[in-house]
Copies of this chain bind each other. A is one copy, B any other.
Amino acid sequence: MNVILDLCVVPVGVGVSVSNYVVACEKVLTEAGLTPHLHGYGTIVEGEWDQVLGAVKRCHEVVHEMGAPRISTTIKLGTRTDREQTVADKVRSVEEKLQGR
């Protein structure tokens, strides 16, 4: 089962700057064989369920190891069985319609 997942990890109790933790998560996702697409409020990954969700678990482990005592994460997660669809497909189908093609 393939999944497209939007991940936003918020470390709590480590001050106001969280970019070091976001950087660490980007590395974890890449090391898991995924290609994260960073955006303004999270990062998008796609792949086989266990690979993707295993990487999310590893993000929590790493952020705790870096010293964050508490993490509050928000995830959006889509699966479909009617057809294969990549992140690039999703974005393209909207952008083409926006441009009137």
Contact = CB atoms under 8 A, between A and B. Distances in A.
Contacts of A81: 64, 69-70
B64 A72 contact: no
A57 B53 contact: yes
A23 B98 contact: yes
Contact of A42 (B1, B71, B76): B76
Interface of A: 1, 4-6, 8, 10, 12-13, 15-16, 18-20, 22-23, 26-27, 37-42, 44, 46, 49-50, 53, 57, 60-61, 64, 69-82, 87-88, 90-91, 93-95, 97-98
16 contacts: A5-B41, A6-B6, A6-B41, A8-B72, A12-B16, A12-B18, A13-B82, A16-B82, A37-B39, A40-B87, A41-B78, A50-B57, A64-B79, A70-B80, A74-B77, A75-B77
